[in-house]
């Protein structure tokens, strides 16, 4: 503080703080003209003449009868530094800053606000900021209470006339004496809001798409459904998504396929997606459907979730089965001449040997003439006839296995055994075109279906043969190699034929694609082979050079299952004498069975099921009924139904005999009944074993 006399303008008193601010010793301050404390512009100055950042507040007073001026001197240099710092922060901040008084009038706007809304700070001073807010958003605006801070997002008018989304954080400081108003920090969030809106619309559109998608979409977390679309609900035969949400996915999968689904889940977690898998699922009505699905791991409601896209391929699988059977039949037709040749060869010497025995038998039994052959020669003739019959039986068995339409069950399979059977059937196709070179290593069993695997090998062998022109056997070869490596069994079938053009090679597994002339093939063979091997967990690949030949490589996973060894000719055991009713429309079969079992058993032969029922109605008693399956007038299945209705005790004494030709209904009935059966032709040992099993 300083006190100056108005009349003279001289300082009559000063305190130490004033002397320090102006740079004078305190004694020098007294008597100093007051005008020395200011420059010509009226700004405070120090003793050395430098301008000072001071605030001077003067008030007139009377001191000892003299008119004086009391001046308070405030050093505002620290405040100036703070204001400068605040100005720099507000000017360079990304957010705008405003100060609004208690009635909503803008008192301060930072320079950064100009970048956000296009207004220079001075343009909005003294205006009401609320007037630039969109009317719809103004009604929803939340104002803070004293001392409270609130956040609002609203549309605000830019200087260019466009609406911008502004996020503001407003604090009510109207009770603070230093502010007496509202301080708001705001920023432009237009891009974020519009992006969020686009995302919301995208999610809405995506959900609409999923809801309307014909592909079943099942979303599960830890195996429990959290979302299913209408297609999935319909696929499983339910009414509403709520019927499935919250339930375990394994609940709808048949027991045998549940481990396959678990493995798929593990694969999805490890790699982010699973391979396409097929599982059987149970609908609400109990019907089993085949579902093909692929899973991916995605975030759903903020958590990792399995999203499965699935299709009901039951009809497609049934169609594929029918196509596969048709292709097998086509293969049988293609091989008919060769099979006939393989059968006719043993039939030729069987017939000749039977004629020899027929001519020699009277001489041996009744002495009618001199025998032409010694006993050991006749034994050889009989042995050859039996061996020929076994050969024919084996060929028929191979054909029957190939033609079995509904057999789809899998189990431990000996690859070499199936391959050898297929080689026998294609022998006639190959032998006129190439030498057969076989290299078989000892390999483990695989899990497959022998009939379908045989179909694959048959197709590949026939294709290899047809790739080679007739007439140059020594110059060409069909190679077959079997080996195992790292848990898989490999079968390679190669030829030295014409090869496959590079532009054709990628399409050879496509359905209905063929390079054969019209009427020779329909282009399904390799496609079906590929699908069959894939269903066993394997793969087919091919390499080829035009003019040098091709190699098809089949890869199949091994199995730890143990194959059940079938005893082809079981030991004939001593049995108590039984009375057997033999029903077969081929009388010769009945006579042969009667002679084969005599004198150990009594066999009563009939050729009609109705005749057998008449004997039972007449009171005749039998220990066993041998019954053919396919017979005119009344089939063996129908005969069994009559026994169940009228003579139920006999249902446990029936053994069916079959030549392998079934209707689909007969096959289903045989599987359902579980009655023991003998496949014709059967050996005496197999027949006696069946009698022992049932009697």
pLDDT of 452-465, one tens digit each?
888 789 889 988 99
pLDDT of 98-138, one tens digit each?
889 988 898 888 878 778 888 886 888 888 888 899 999 99
Q: Would the pLDDT of 474 be above 50?
A: yes
Residue 343's Cα: distance from chain center in Å? 47
Distance between CA 435 and CA 20 in Å, rounded?
121
Distance between CA 487 and CA 483 in Å, rounded?
11
Q: What is the mean pLDDT of residues 383-394?
A: 79
**344 confidence band (pLDDT: 50, 70, 90):** confident
Where is pLDDT greater, at 578 or 200? 578
- pLDDT score of 570: 46
- pLDDT score of 620: 94
DSSP 566: P
Which residue reads 């033999």 in tokens? 582
Q: State the Cα torsion 340-342-346-351 to the nearest 10°.
A: 10
| pLDDT-wise least confident of 33-47, 48-62, 213-227, 665-679 | 665-679
Distance between CA 385 and CA 387 in Å, rounded?
5
Edge-first strand order for the sheet with 96-101 is 106-109, 96-101, 181-188, 163-173, 149-157
Q: Report which of 429, 439, 425 is spatially closest to residue 395, judged by C-alpha positions.
A: 425
Cβ pair 648, 641 in contact under 8 A: no
| pLDDT-wise least confident of 68-72, 476-480, 543-547, 690-694 | 690-694
Q: What is the mean pLDDT of residues 626-644?
A: 91
Distance between CA 355 and CA 362 in Å, rounded?
12
* CA-to-CA dists, residue 136 to 132, 141, 150, 543, angstroms: 12, 9, 19, 71
- pLDDT score of 522: 44
pLDDT of 144-202, one tens digit each?
999 999 999 999 999 999 999 999 999 999 888 878 899 899 999 999 898 888 877 76
- Full-model pTM: 0.44
Domains of the chain: 2-75 (3.30.450.20), 79-194 (3.30.450.20), 213-312 (3.30.450.20), 336-557 (3.30.565.10), 579-694 (3.40.50.2300)
* CA-to-CA dists, residue 626 to 321, 636, 652, angstroms: 33, 10, 12
3-state SS assignment for residue 277: strand
Distance between CA 209 and CA 502 in Å, rounded?
41
**375 confidence band (pLDDT: 50, 70, 90):** confident
User: Mutual orientation of helices 314-334 and 525-535 as an angle, nearest 10°?
Assistant: 120
Q: Which residues lie below 8 Å from residue 88, measured CB to CB, with a gap of 6+?
A: none
Cβ pair 540, 552 in contact under 8 A: yes
* CA-to-CA dists, residue 579 to 276, 605, 686, 691, angstroms: 57, 11, 18, 10
Cβ pair 448, 556 in contact under 8 A: yes
Q: What is the mean pLDDT of residues 340-348?
A: 70
pLDDT of 222-279, one tens digit each?
899 999 999 999 999 999 999 999 999 999 999 989 998 999 999 999 999 998 888 9
């Amino acid at each position: 503080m300083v006190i100056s006399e108005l009349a003279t303008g001289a300082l009559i008193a000063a305190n130490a703080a004033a002397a320090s601010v102006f740079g004078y010793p305190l004694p020098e301050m007294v008597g100093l003209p007051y005008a020395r404390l200011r420059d010509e512009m009226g700004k405070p100055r120090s003793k050395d003449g430098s301008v000072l950042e001071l605030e001077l507040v003067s008030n007139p007073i009377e001191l000892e009868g003299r008119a004086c001026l009391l001046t308070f001197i405030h050093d505002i240099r620290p405040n100036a530094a703070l204001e400068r710092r605040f100005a720099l922060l507000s000017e360079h901040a990304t957010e705008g800053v405003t100060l609004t008084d208690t009635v909503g009038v803008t008192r301060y706007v930072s320079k950064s606000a100009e970048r956000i809304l296009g207004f220079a700070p001075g343009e909005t001073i003294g205006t009401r900021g609320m007037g630039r807010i969109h009317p719809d958003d103004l009604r929803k605006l939340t104002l803070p209470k004293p001392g409270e801070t609130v956040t609002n997002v609203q549309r605000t008018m830019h200087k260019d006339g466009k609406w911008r989304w502004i996020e503001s954080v407003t604090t009510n400081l109207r009770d603070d004496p230093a502010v007496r108003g509202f301080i708001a920090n705001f920023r432009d969030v237009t891009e974020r809001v519009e992006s969020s809106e686009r995302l919301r619309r995208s999610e809405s559109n995506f959900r609409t798409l999923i809801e309307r998608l014909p592909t079943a979409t099942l979303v599960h977390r830890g195996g429990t459904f959290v979302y299913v679309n209408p297609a999935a609900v319909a696929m499983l035969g339910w009414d509403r998504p709520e019927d499935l949400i919250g339930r375990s996915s394994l609940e709808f999968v048949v027991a045998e396929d549940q481990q396959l689904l678990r493995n798929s889940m593990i694969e999805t977690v490890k790699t982010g997606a699973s391979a396409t898998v097929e599982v059987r699922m149970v609908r609400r009505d109990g019907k089993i459907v085949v579902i093909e699905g692929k899973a991916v791991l995605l975030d759903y409601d903020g958590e990792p979730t399995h999203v499965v896209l699935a299709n009901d391929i039951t009809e497609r699988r049934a169609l594929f089965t029918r196509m596969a059977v048709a292709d097998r039949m086509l293969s049988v037709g293609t091989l008919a001449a060769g099979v006939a040749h393989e059968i006719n060869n043993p039939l030729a010497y069987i017939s000749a040997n039977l004629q020899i025995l027929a001519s020699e038998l009277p001489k041996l039994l009744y002495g009618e003439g001199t025998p032409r052959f010694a006993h050991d020669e006749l034994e050889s003739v009989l042995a050859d006839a039996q061996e020929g019959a076994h050969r024919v039986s084996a060929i028929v068995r191979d054909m029957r296995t190939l033609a079995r339409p509904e057999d789809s069950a899998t189990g431990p399979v000996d690859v070499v055994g199936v391959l050898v059977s297929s080689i026998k059937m294609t022998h006639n196709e190959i032998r006129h075109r190439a030498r057969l070179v076989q290299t078989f290593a000892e390999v483990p069993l695989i899990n497959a279906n022998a009939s379908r695997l045989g179909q694959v090998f048959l197709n590949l062998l026939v294709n290899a043969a047809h790739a080679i022109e007739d007439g140059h056997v020594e110059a060409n070869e069909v190679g077959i190699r079997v080996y195992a490596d790292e848990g898989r069994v490999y079968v390679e079938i190669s030829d030295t034929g014409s090869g496959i053009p590079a532009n054709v090679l990628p399409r050879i597994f496509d359905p209905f694609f063929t390079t054969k002339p019209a009427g020779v093939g329909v282009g399904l063979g390799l496609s079906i082979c590929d699908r069959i091997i894939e269903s066993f967990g394997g793969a087919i690949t091919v390499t080829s050079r035009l003019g040098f030949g091709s190699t098809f490589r089949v890869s199949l996973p091994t199995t730890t299952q143990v194959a059940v060894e079938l005893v082809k000719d079981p030991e004939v055991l001593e049995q108590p004498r039984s009375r057997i009713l033999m029903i077969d429309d081929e009388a010769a079969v009945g006579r042969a069975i009667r002679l084969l079992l005599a004198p150990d058993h009594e066999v009563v032969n009939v050729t009609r099921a109705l005749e057998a029922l008449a004997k039972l109605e007449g009171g005749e008693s039998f220990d066993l009924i041998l019954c053919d399956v396919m017979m005119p007038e009344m089939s063996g299945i129908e005969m069994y139904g009559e026994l169940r209705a009228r003579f139920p005790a006999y249902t446990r004494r029936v053994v069916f005999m079959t030549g392998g030709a079934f209707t689909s209904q007969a096959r289903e009935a045989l599987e359902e009944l579980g009655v023991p059966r003998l496949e014709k032709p059967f050996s005496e040992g197999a027949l006696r074993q069946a009698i022992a099993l049932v009697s």
